[in-house]
Each structure stands twice: as C-alpha cells, then as structure tokens.
Structure 1
C-alpha cells in the first residue's frame, strides 16, 4: 500500500525559483539561448550577434572557434583516450605538468576539474605541509594524525575563492555564505591591511594565506604590490604558505603568463582554472618543492583531473597564452583600454572609478550594474558585474583594439542614456 504524503512535506512549488526546462535553478540565466561562437562574437538561436567582453567569465581567452583547440581535441579522440584512470600514466598530463614547471617557480603540478577544486586542493596541501613542521608532541589530539595546531587558513576581505563547502568559508560574499552555515572551520577572513595581517598570522596556528592578486568578484581590485611584498616576507619568516589564487587573473589576463609575475612576489602555490583548457573543465595547483615533498600518495585525488583529452587541449592553450607576442598584445591593448575607460568616466560623469590591469577591468557606476548589463545585452554586448555597482570587463585575450572600441562605445552610450522608461 502506498504511504500517504503528509502535506507538511510536500514541496512548495510556488516558492521554487523557475528554471529553463529541467535545469536546477542555481543561475539566473539571460533569456537568449546561445548556439554558436566565432572569434569574439556569440550568436543566439535567432541569429543575433553579441560582442563578448565577458569570455565566459574569463574562460574563453582564445575566443571562439580556435583551430588549435579543435585540433587538440581531435588528436585525443583519434587515440581513443578521452579518459584514463590516474592509476596509470599518460603522456598529455605529464607533458602539461612539465611545461608548467618549466615556465614557473613550481616543482610539481596537480590537475583537477575547476577553480574551486584547485583551491580546495591547495588548502589540503597547505595543511599537509604544515604537519611536517609541527613536532608530534605538539599535536592536540592523540595519535600520529591528531589535530595539527598549525592548520588555520586566512583569506582577504573582498575575496572569492569558490562556493564548495571548504572554500566557501574563504569567500567574502554574505549572500553565498549565509544559507550554508556552519561553514568549514579553521578558515577566516582578514582585512587587506598589513598591521591586521601581522596580528592575525600566528606562526603556531596559521598554515596558509590565500590571495587573489586581482580580486575579480570582489570588484576587480588590484591588491597593492607593496602589501603583497610585506606579506611574502611575513609568511616566509613564520613558515606560512602563501597561495595566489590566479583562477581569474592568471594565464595571460594581466599581460604576463602568471599573475604573480606582475607583483614581484613568488608564492608557494598558485591555483589556476578558467582559461586553462579552453572551456573544458580543468583546474591546477602549482606547488613549490617543499610542499610537493610533503604530499604523499592517498593524500588527495581526482577521477577526471588531468585526463588525456583535457590535458592535450590545455597544453595548446598554455603554449598560446605563453606566446610573448600574445602577452605583448594584452599589455598594449589593455593599457589602451584602461586609458579609454578613464576618459569615458571623465566625459560622462556617470562613473565613480575605474580599476584593473591587462584585460581585466572594473568600472564603478552610480546606477546598479545589473541594469547596465541588461541594457548592454539588449544592445548586443555581453559584460558582467562584480558587485552591485561595478561592471566587470573580461574580453578574450585575442580581441582587437577595434572591437574593444566598439564595445566601449556601446557602454558609454548605455551609461549616458541611463535607464529607459
């Protein structure tokens, strides 16, 4: 006999946010359906074109229809190896890891599937490394794997490090955190102030600090390089791992292959994702020799991370993004774009501030940013927000100055005209 369902547990469908089709409503999606991309332009099912200054949130660094990505995918398909367990060796992942080590400070690379996963991995690696620094007698709980006193992780005000349960505690967005409390323990947020950090970074308790060199979701805020240099000295002295989250600002977006190269600071780990595999799901953690030596088989794992297909594509993407000519292009057009944005701000009187570097820019507006984004979309331009009153511009790194100028013209017109009645 079927059991009757109590009315008290029947889902309240009226309170459930609407979704397109059967997709769970975790995103408030724009009304159009994208069906095709070419260069720096997307097209919807009605054939309408959109100039893309969002790059799939910094993912599509090479734009759309890149021949090298298609070729790398086909090469992998021709081998029949889309996936191989990480219990076995494959060439593409090893070649990619070696390329990254050769072009950075790192001694080893770990591959996963997303930026949040990369940050979760970095947190684990930091705690595993910290355990090697603490005498066994100092452990709080009995046994060789008791609670290590040096385990706390600090992020900075304005940070965004992901929305999985561990890194959510390091993400400074109240609306993301509130519905999921209690958050993971041993993770807290400090002000972007060297005096507060000096007081917070207890050498006996803190194992890592994680910083975005340019905070993306936090308003496209370039963290002061002087603060980063002082933080590097402080963490090195206290044997605290310094982690740079370069998921949005790394891999060419600032005009250098890695964002840390713009700061004069070498961290102990960096996390990467977004553009890494040209739109295929991939993240990475690059670690120095000391941290690499602390990580043992079984400490972490991933079913799909670094598989042969995504790794083969990622190697092509990294080689393109590491091309000195492309990086010079990003620096050149990025500097021009920043100057043009500041000139627009002066002309219109509708912009409070402009911040950024390379091809990563934030524009503070008096009007709610979401309203401007919606009007831009209606005008055939895709841009993003980074807070209630900040526009975020993340164009493909291959974009031309002419296309940037076209996008800027649309933004200026929309901001100047204001909301339409």
Structure 2
C-alpha cells in the first residue's frame, strides 16, 4: 500500500516515529533509518519520541543512540543464518535469542546510551499479569535499556518460559498487545514504519487487496506476499529475502521522501548504485564468514575429540568426579548384594542367582540416587514453569483472538456501511426518479 499522503504532508514538529514489531525483517526498518540518516536526518533528530515494539524496539534504540546500521544488519543476518542451520529454526532449544540480543547490545550500545534514550526512546512491552501495553522511557543506566529490550523481544515459548523483568515487574513481547506502538496521550502526527504491507506510512507497496487483518492499531493486507513476509519474519527460510528487505526499506524511504518533496528525484539513481554495491559486498562477506565459521567448527570438533579420547585413555587424567562415582557405585552394589547374599545363604539358596537377578534393580536404584538432585530441582521449578507457561500461552491466545475479532468487526462495519450507502442511493434515486 502506498504511503499515506495526508499524514506525511503534515511535517510540523514535534512528531513521533513508531517502528512496528518485525521479527527478522527488522532489516527493512534498518534500511528506512539509514535512508533518513543519509538524506533527511532532521526527521529523526527532531522527533520527540521514537517508539518500537519487539524487534522494532531494537531499531528504535539504534536510531536514538545512532548505532551503526550496517553492523546491526550484519549481526541480524549472521544470527538468521545460524537459525536456519537447525531444522526447527528459532524453535530449536539450542537457539538462545536472549543471549544473542544481550551480546549484541553490550557490543554496540554506547556506555552513555541511557543519556541519549531517557525520555526519547519508547520501548513497548506487555505486562504479563494483565496484558496491558506499557511504554518504558525512563532509563538510569545502559543495563536498564538492555533489560527493557530483552522484555520487549521476549516471545513466550520461542525465547523460553521465564519472562525477563524490568524493575521487579515481568514483561513479554510488546507486539502482543499492539504491534504498532503509539503514545496514549499523543495528539501529534506519528510516522509509522512497518515491513508488512498495510496502512503504515512507510511499508512495502503491494497491489491492492480486498482482504485485511487488524493487528492492534495496525491494518495489514491479507495477501500471499504479505503472509510470506510475516512467516519469514518469525521463521526465516530465505536469507536473501531478509537481506533484500534492507534495500527495499531504503528504497521505500526514498520514495516517501520524494513524494513529500524532501529530496530531489535525481538522487534515486545514486542511491540505487550504492545499494547494489553494498549488496554485492554483503554477500561476499557472508560467504567468507561462512567459510571461516566452518573451519572454526572443524577445529573445535577435532580439539574436542582429542580431549575426549585423552580423558578416557589416560587413567591418571580421569576426572575425580568419575572416579568417585565409580567407587561409590561399587560400594553400593557390594553392600546391597552382600546383604542379599547373606540372607539368601541362610535360606540355603544359591547366592549367585539372586545376585544376577538383583543387579538391574541395583543399577536403577543407583541411577535414582544420582538423579535425585536433578529431580528435586525439576519439582521445585515445576510450579513456576506452569505459572509462566500459562500466562504466556494466555497472552498469545488473546493476541490471536483479538486479531480475529477486530478483523471480523472491521469487515462487518465495512459491509454495513456499503449497505447503508446503497440504501441511501436507492432513496435518493427513488425521490428524484419520480
């Protein structure tokens, strides 16, 4: 859908900028932000509040703190490549989204990021207890920003079961309450950016579609292309699509600026050449990184095998834990079987028969003793696991339920309005037809 001209023409300041939830297609919003920094930086720097939900909060943080857009894009692409190497993708238990995000933020956020972000960066989160969306904007340290972003990007089930907390309150993904965050008391124009085709000011321009779905305050086209974008944002299947979204966002932002007479039309050719060169260099970098990663994995695997072999071939280097465990097992087995053999000999029965029969039982009993601490830990965490899993599942269900209800409501209102307009036309026609 083409950008909304009436909203965009109103260029008065102050104004807010909102980055929607986007998943791995946050690269689209990075391209938009890069274009604005290059050709219209006053739009970003004059904004009173820059908001973001879910992955959009990471882009909002990058804009406010003026982080390296290319570096953030490369990190997202590298992580997406790592995710696609697993059959289950982001749902694989070994994928730690929170760990990756925390490492990324500590690496690229400036030490005084809270000074840049305080009162200007709005990170949308969803409170677990009541599902209400809150905008976090008061940060006293860099760690506050990191923790708020971990909350805003936490998807129940995908990121784990225990939601992170910010100042003692647990929050989850901000997109579950409203995918396109807005300030509740803001009457000024908000520039909206989304990687999904819909009613956002800057979004992919797809052909018109009669089917729409309402997600929070955003309206998205229910088309094949848009559904593929949504799927690719949650479950990356094609790295080139995610990387191409960066250049599509850059070009859509140029179109937005040209429509509003903010940049000359001749600038488009130079931008195209820059993007093509950048795209070629990016894929060369990815291929080189892939080769280096494979070599590193091979070295690590060989080193691990050598260490494993030496550990079991050299008895002097055997860990104390294993030696103690084997000794403990022998003691348990001898004591139990010795007592059983003694009682059996008193009954004038062969002791060896009972020894062989009881050996599996002894092994099972010993395994139970060894796993006692683990079982105690599981049972201690079980109530907490059930509690947070229930809250997370409830919020995800309400998110999907609200999409269905709001979409049906909008469709019914549209149909009723068409019927009313038709009846009004019949009334006017019958009146003047006479």
Same fold flag (TM > 0.5): no
Q: TM-score, normalising length from structure 2?
A: 0.22
Larger of the two Rg values belongs to structure: 2
In proportion to residue count, which structure has more helix? 2
